[in-house]
Amino acid sequence: MAIKRPVFKPYNQQQILAIPPTLEELIPQGHPVRIVNEVINKINIEPLLKAYHIRGSSSYHPQLLLKVLVYGYVTNIYSSRKLAASCQESIYFMWLSSMSYPDHNTINRFRGVRLKNALRSVFEDVVKLLADEGLLSIDEINTDGTKIEANANKYTFVWRKSIQTNKEKMKKQLTEIWQYAQQLAADEDKMPEPPDFTEIDSAKVKATVAQLNEKLAAKDNIDKKVKDKLNYVTKNYPLSIAKYEQQEAILGERNSFSKTDTDATFMRMKEYHMKNGQLKPGYNVQISTSNQFIVNYTIHPNPTDTTTLTAHLVQHEASFGKAPKVLTADAGYGSEENYTLLEQKEVTAYVKYGMFDKEQNETHNSKFPFASDKLFYNQEKDCYICPMGKQMDFIGNYIRKTSTGFEQNVKRYQAKNCGNCPLNGACHKSKENRVIEINENLKRQKQKAFELLNTEEGIQRRKKRCFDVEPVFGNIKQNHGFRRFLLRGKEKVAVEWGLLSIAQNLRKKAA
Ligand code: SF4
């Protein structure tokens, strides 16, 4: 009886095709790679051409490299080596690169150097194309921020506070040695008082160390401990103070930086896997979205969102020639400075303030019945009425400056005879008469925001914000695994985020 054998389909690797298929035929219609190709073909690459020299050997076409990079970011391939390998392995990349094989150095140099000044205009062109197709609006945006870890060592930090502490120690040591020299000096060789160390700098430290050496080095009766101290000071302080000055220049307005990426600032990362709120070097990325398309992005060193809005709106205006008409954002942006900015630019702001959600909560309101915002204001007499019905008179105002230099006018009102009041203790904790501080402008702005946010449209926009801007971060971080920048320095990080934003927009268009 014949043995039955399994039947297989024909398999012959040496099969010769009469008409071999082209790469074009192998790419399915509607595939995301076709969207990348089509969109990049439409954008103006003139700004990109400026990054090339006329002389020298021929280069890969910038459109080719841009398509490879953007498609790489669309498909979660971020490393230049993997992108270079994909150009030899994947038909999608082969099609985009027309069977050219740029190496990883070429890709990296294109991304880190050539795109530095040109990517913003590429991104803007993509956004304008999508806006023309009616997929997004550049007038009605939702703004939010997230922190992304920098490609920097988390243990190579420099803190402003530790520089200040070291400088204080320096001042103390120098003053002590100076005072010792004063005691030792003979009457005829009297030493002046120690220098004024309120401000300490390189020149002052060098001069002080030189003077101390001049007075003490020649003496035989100098205490050994002081001699050791003087030796240490002479050897280390001039170098240390020069280093601190350099570090302070890098710090600028910040409180910290990483030595391996000096543009990165230490921030608390929400998603840190240990969930212990560890500080890591990173960047605060701000985006504005419309229908989950990224309309604008900016990179900031500030860990909080509040102080980023000005620069973010400036970028929006620079990109599109006008401010948005409507902006929706969470309570992180609800400051007097931001409300004022949005008023000046005539932007309708659906922006919550810090206590907006709590104010809607009855339990919270009942916990603080005597809060200053619940007191009645008598406009005619410019006074507040306290819970006992007594008048709280205006006692003066002062200007408070925020960290960005924004000036707030704060008015103060004081009650009388709180000591005899039965509500004393429940109404306020101070031993003196109760004083309240009122920022009238902020109070007005909060009232305006409260009314706007509680309109039918306000409620709809608040709901929409949650599923417009927030999922974009979730998608990039969670679904596409981008949690850490690959490049170092703010400019290069901006290029990376620009590529991610283009990729996000093209993925969304393809979907
Ligand atoms: S403690 Fe002072 S401010 Fe408070 S209710 Fe009494 S009098 Fe008014």
Q: Ligand 1: residues whose CB is within 6 Å?
A: 386-388, 390, 415, 418, 421, 423-424, 427-428, 434
Cα 384 to middle of ligand 1, angstroms: 11
Residue 68 token pair:
């490879």
Q: Check if the beta carbon of residue 178 is closer than 8 Å to that of residue 191.
A: yes
Protein residue closest via CA to atom 7 of ligand 1: 418
479 shares a domain with 417: no
Cα 450 to middle of ligand 1, angstroms: 28
Q: Which of 374, 375, 385, 388 to mutate to test the pocket of ligand 1 (most atoms within 8 A of CB)?
A: 388
Cα 448 to middle of ligand 1, angstroms: 29
Cα 223 to middle of ligand 1, angstroms: 63
Cα 371 to middle of ligand 1, angstroms: 12
174 shares a domain with 60: no
Cα 420 to middle of ligand 1, angstroms: 9
Single-letter amino acid, residue 408: Q
Residue 216, domain member (yes or no): yes
456 shares a domain with 426: no
Q: Which of 370, 386, 436 to mutate to test the pocket of ligand 1 (most atoms within 8 A of CB)?
A: 386
427 shares a domain with 454: no
Cα 360 to middle of ligand 1, angstroms: 26
> Can you tell me the distance from the alpha carbon of 427 to that of 370, in angstroms, rounded to the nearest whole number?
6
Residue 470, domain member (yes or no): yes
250 shares a domain with 176: yes
Cα 415 to middle of ligand 1, angstroms: 6
CB atoms within 10 A of CB 96: 28
Q: What CATH number has the domain bearing residue 477?
A: 3.30.420
Cα 414 to middle of ligand 1, angstroms: 10
326 shares a domain with 201: no
- Owning domain of residue 186: 158-257
**Partners of residue 327 on adjacent β-strands:** 141, 349
Q: Which of 370, 393, 417, 421 to mutate to test the pocket of ligand 1 (most atoms within 8 A of CB)?
A: 421
- Sheet of strand 376-378, all strands in order from the earlier edge strand to the far edge: 376-378, 383-385, 391-401, 407-414, 435-438
Residue numbers of the chain with a pLDDT score lower than 50: none
Residue 141, domain member (yes or no): no
pLDDT given at position 188: 54
Q: Check if the beta carbon of residue 327 is closer than 8 Å to that of residue 348.
A: yes
User: 84, 117, 150 — which closes off a domain?
Assistant: 117
Helix or strand run (H / E) with residue 279: strand 279-290
**Partners of residue 218 on adjacent β-strands:** none
The count of structural domains within the chain is 4
Q: Check if the beta carbon of residue 290 is closer than 8 Å to that of residue 137.
A: yes
Q: Which of 372, 383, 390 to mutate to test the pocket of ligand 1 (most atoms within 8 A of CB)?
A: 390
275 shares a domain with 251: no
Residue 325, domain member (yes or no): yes
Q: Which of 427, 432, 433, 437 to mutate to test the pocket of ligand 1 (most atoms within 8 A of CB)?
A: 427
Residue 314, domain member (yes or no): yes
Q: Check if the beta carbon of residue 68 is closer than 8 Å to that of residue 83.
A: yes
pLDDT given at position 212: 83
Residue 430 token pair:
């101070």
Using one digit for the tens of pLDDT, what is the confidence trace for 302-344? 888 899 999 999 999 999 999 999 999 999 999 999 999 999 9
Helix or strand run (H / E) with residue 267: strand 265-268
Confidence (pTM) = 0.85
329 φ/ψ angles, rounded to the nearest 5 degrees: -150, 165
Residue 186, domain member (yes or no): yes
Cα 362 to middle of ligand 1, angstroms: 23
CB atoms within 10 A of CB 111: 25
Cα 369 to middle of ligand 1, angstroms: 13
**What are the start-end ranges of the E strands in 336-463?**
348-351, 376-378, 383-385, 391-401, 407-414, 435-438
Query: Which atom from ligand 1 is nearest to the alpha carbon of 433?
Result: 2
Residue 146, domain member (yes or no): no
**Partners of residue 297 on adjacent β-strands:** 287
Query: Which atom from ligand 1 is nearest to the alpha carbon of 415?
Result: 3
393 shares a domain with 475: no
Query: Which atom from ligand 1 is nearest to the alpha carbon of 434?
Result: 3
Residue 510, domain member (yes or no): no
User: 425, 442, 459 — which closes off a domain?
Assistant: 442
pLDDT given at position 507: 92
428 shares a domain with 399: yes
DSSP letter at 20 equals P
Cα 82 to middle of ligand 1, angstroms: 70
User: 257, 273, 307 — which closes off a domain?
Assistant: 257
> Can you tell me the distance from the alpha carbon of 118 to that of 48, in angstroms, rounded to the nearest whole number?
5
Query: Which atom from ligand 1 is nearest to the alpha carbon of 418?
Result: 2
Helix or strand run (H / E) with residue 144: strand 140-149
Query: Which atom from ligand 1 is nearest to the alpha carbon of 422?
Result: 6
Cα 424 to middle of ligand 1, angstroms: 6
Protein residue closest via CA to atom 2 of ligand 1: 418
Protein residue closest via CA to atom 4 of ligand 1: 427
Residue 189 token pair:
């060789």
458 shares a domain with 318: yes
CB atoms within 10 A of CB 288: 26
474 shares a domain with 352: yes
456 shares a domain with 344: yes
Query: Which atom from ligand 1 is nearest to the alpha carbon of 427?
Result: 4
